[in-house]
Structure 1
Amino acid sequence: MFEDILKKIKPSEEERKRVYEIIREIVERLEKRGLEVFLGGSFAKDTWISNNYDIDLFILFRDGEGISKKIEETLKEEKMDYAKVRGSRDYFKVFYRGMEFELVPALKIGKVEDAENVIDLSPFHVSYVRSKIEGTNLADEIRLLKVFMKNIGTYGAESYVRGFSGYATELLILYYKSFYNLILNTQDWRPKVFLDIEGYYNDIRKAINVMGKDKTKSPIIIVDPVYPVRNATSSVSVHKFAEFIYYSRILLEEMRNGLDVSKYFEIKKKVDISKYLEYAKRYGANLLYIEIEGKGGSKDIKNTKALKFFKRLVKELEVNNFPILRKFVIFDEKVIGIIYVYLDKLLEYRKKEGPLVWDKESFEKFLKKHRNEEVFVEEDGRVYAIINKKVKSEEILEDMRNKYSNSIEKFYFKLY
């Protein structure tokens, strides 16, 4: 059913040989310096996608003191190109022979109960998935799901995405046995979906009681087979859960109608705004296209800041009475924001926010400035004024750029 798509997304034997040779080479160089290296993620399970080279190398340790320093000293000794990323345990992005490796410290443990965080569970996750997919075609089914999720924007457990992690996608396939069967079953999904591959719990209520309500707020609960007190999909938001169901239904309908569905499985999908321009034109709206790059060492921090900036920008436009029909973000190499906004329907009057009443100095300045306008206090304790002033959207965007320059590295916008 998906043979032609798999030919494009599955690594060829030649590519596999080349990639694993490079992995072996860097691992040997690190081990030569006394580091204990464990290959993790999709490359350890052979569920990776062609031409996608983000490779996880876990540096195992028993005593956490000084592990990041030891890794950095090793990288310097080996003269490798790297970037240090701050965190609870500092990790390193290493750029080696055209590939990006992440060297992540992980506690070497004998049993899952000793894990300090989910990273420490990685060797157990790898062993479990490999044991289940060996001698089957499930690795290809996982590839199909990963590429599909990346195309529809539901892949990634990062805080700025809140979608499905790579491990979660693997567990979905292990449960449903094929990509197509998963798509069929999502047609009837509704919160809360409960999947327990190894049958640890009799029902969802017992699982919630053991895991805790905070870890089971997500609309889907997948019991981690290697650590059953953990919900492997605790990061999944209602938004991403609903999007996955929506696009699964669309995919199934198009397949049944004999339509070409290859667009849902493109590896390097470029953001094409032409369809959004057509929609905006149909609605008689302008399209505001935005590219944002946040400041920070890691992609997670950068994109979190960029997303926060986008939300503030939307709020600023709404405060200034710009009617917004739809707004959303696309996570590409940078954060891309799309807003359908009506620039020619700006109200003549708008409400301007002032200071808190007990901020006497600022209050008096505000009152003096707006002595000819209606001034009043609202529930939040702030003073407001109704002013007759049209603000250009470009002015708001430039003002936002300046206001948040400490958290935003780059900001580009274009109005259509």
Structure 2
Amino acid sequence: MNGAGIYGSELKIQGFSGYLCELLTLHYGSFQKLVKAASRWKPGTVIDPEHTYRDESEPNILFEGQPLIVIDPVDPNRNVAAAVSMENFAVFVRACQEFLSRPRREFFFSNKVELLDAKTLQKIIKQRGTKVLCVVFKSPDLVPDVLYPQLRKTQRTIMNRLAQAGFDVLRSDVWSDSDAGILLEFRVSKLPRVRKRIGPPITLDAGDFIREHLRSEKMLAGPYVDPTGRMVFELVQEETDAADALKRIMEKRTAFGKHVIEAVGKGYKIVDESGLLKLLRDRKFKEFISEYFTRRLPWYR
């Protein structure tokens, strides 16, 4: 687990606790048998060491949406694997598959991420051709298990609202030290002044859709039917710059984590590439940004 970077049930990591590892090994009888079984796991896998539930569908209902369900022998109403994210579940399954195919040292002792200097970081961003923005604010004084869920909730809200505004975020991540931040990498950060508003297919009534947009001052063209059979209007794209859209979202601060709302209200900044280079003076941020831009499964480093 350490070698794959998924050991620890803290909400910052969302991985496998020591207790969970022990239960899995005991359940399957050995490390080798665990690896072989886990290589075939699917999301929603149920492991019930004490056979508490007669029907596997019961824990799937009780712990709906959790990728791995391991019933606690002491408390059958508890999923010992509740902290494991879908991402880390998939990493473990993939690690087991590849370990069976080609066992090697890197699965247990992976190489550390090489820290990037300013020149290398600039080169990587230029090669990627993306626009990178980072929202930075004073980190709330919270333990990581409280802070990181709030950061991720804020991240999801920002990404959803950027998508609604028409901006395509390639990837995003969060970090925290004395400052906290949400990194956003855009495939496209500048949009044209026109956007499509796609309505219902021909099989559904489009009356309300047509009336609403015919009266709109933002209407440029339409209604017309596109090749898929849907009604379409072309409207004015109000925000054409990702940085402006991000600033608007940050100013509203709705549906953010509770303590993030308070922290952002006291002050924040949106930094671009030049600002990222200055942040490299912070060791934790340097580790974070180096991991982000050289991301790969640990055993491939």
- The TM-score range, normalised by the shorter chain, is 0.5 to 0.7
- Determine the structure 1 residue equivalent to 2:171: 327
- Determine the structure 1 residue equivalent to 2:272: 415
Query: Match of 1:227, SS?
Result: coil
Q: Distance in 1 between matches of 2:124 and 2:37?
A: 31
Q: Which amino acid aligns with 1:309?
A: T
CA shift, 1:310, in A, is 1.2
- The verdict on how the C-alpha distance between 1:216 and 1:389 changes in structure 2, with shifts beyond 3 A counting, is closer
Query: Match of 2:171, SS?
Result: strand
- Determine the structure 1 residue equivalent to 2:235: 386
CA shift, 1:224, in A, is 0.9
CA shift, 1:290, in A, is 4.6
- Determine the structure 2 residue equivalent to 1:371: 217
TM (norm. structure 2) is 0.57
Q: Distance in 1 between matches of 2:29 and 2:239?
A: 58
* Residues 371-402 of structure 1, C-alpha deviations (whole Å, 9 max, x = no match): 364599xxxxxxx9922545322223333333
Alignment of 1:6-405 (within 5 A): 145=1, 147-148=2-3, 151-152=5-6, 155-156=8-9, 158=11, 163-176=15-28, 182-197=34-49, 199-201=50-52, 205-206=54-55, 208-209=57-58, 211=59, 213-215=61-63, 217-249=65-97, 255-256=103-104, 262-263=109-110, 281-291=126-136, 295=140, 297-324=142-169, 326-330=170-174, 333=177, 337-343=182-188, 346-350=191-195, 371=217, 373=219, 386-404=235-253
Q: Distance in 2 between matches of 1:166 and 1:248?
A: 18
- Asked if 2 retains the 8 angstrom alpha-carbon contact of 1:224 and 1:230, the reply is yes
- The verdict on how the C-alpha distance between 1:253 and 1:340 changes in structure 2, with shifts beyond 3 A counting, is farther
Tell which structure's C-alpha radius of gyration is larger. Answer: 1
Query: Match of 1:200, SS?
Result: coil
CA shift, 1:171, in A, is 2.1
Q: Distance in 1 between matches of 2:26 and 2:127?
A: 43
Q: Percent identity?
A: 20
- Asked if 1 retains the 8 angstrom alpha-carbon contact of 2:138 and 2:268, the reply is yes
Structure 1 stretches lacking a partner, 5+ long:
1-144, 353-366, 377-383
Structure 2 stretches lacking a partner, 5+ long:
198-213, 223-232, 254-259, 274-301
Q: Distance in 1 between matches of 2:145 and 2:218?
A: 47
- The total of aligned residue pairs comes to 240
- Asked if 2 retains the 8 angstrom alpha-carbon contact of 1:349 and 1:386, the reply is yes
* Residues 227-262 of structure 1, C-alpha deviations (whole Å, 9 max, x = no match): 234332244443432233234445666744x76863
- Asked if 2 retains the 8 angstrom alpha-carbon contact of 1:157 and 1:163, the reply is yes
* Residues 20-65 of structure 1, C-alpha deviations (whole Å, 9 max, x = no match): xxxxxxxxxxxxxxxxxxxxxxxxxxxxxxxxxxxxxxxxxxxxxx
- Asked if 2 retains the 8 angstrom alpha-carbon contact of 1:323 and 1:346, the reply is no
Q: Distance in 1 between matches of 2:174 and 2:142?
A: 21
Q: Distance in 2 between matches of 1:290 and 1:251?
A: 39
TM (norm. structure 1) is 0.44
Q: Distance in 1 between matches of 2:218 and 2:64?
A: 54
Q: Distance in 1 between matches of 2:137 and 2:14?
A: 19
- The verdict on how the C-alpha distance between 1:297 and 1:259 changes in structure 2, with shifts beyond 3 A counting, is closer
Q: Which amino acid aligns with 2:152?
A: L
- Asked if 2 retains the 8 angstrom alpha-carbon contact of 1:286 and 1:341, the reply is yes
- The verdict on how the C-alpha distance between 1:345 and 1:399 changes in structure 2, with shifts beyond 3 A counting, is closer
Query: Match of 2:261, SS?
Result: coil
Q: Distance in 1 between matches of 2:115 and 2:47?
A: 34
Q: Distance in 1 between matches of 2:110 and 2:128?
A: 25
CA shift, 1:166, in A, is 4.4
Q: Which amino acid aligns with 2:66?
A: S
* Residues 310-351 of structure 1, C-alpha deviations (whole Å, 9 max, x = no match): 112212322332222x32425554765443313455233247
Q: Distance in 1 between matches of 2:121 and 2:98?
A: 18
Aligned residues: CA RMSD:
4.7
* Residues 268-303 of structure 1, C-alpha deviations (whole Å, 9 max, x = no match): x79869999877655532333455666475433432
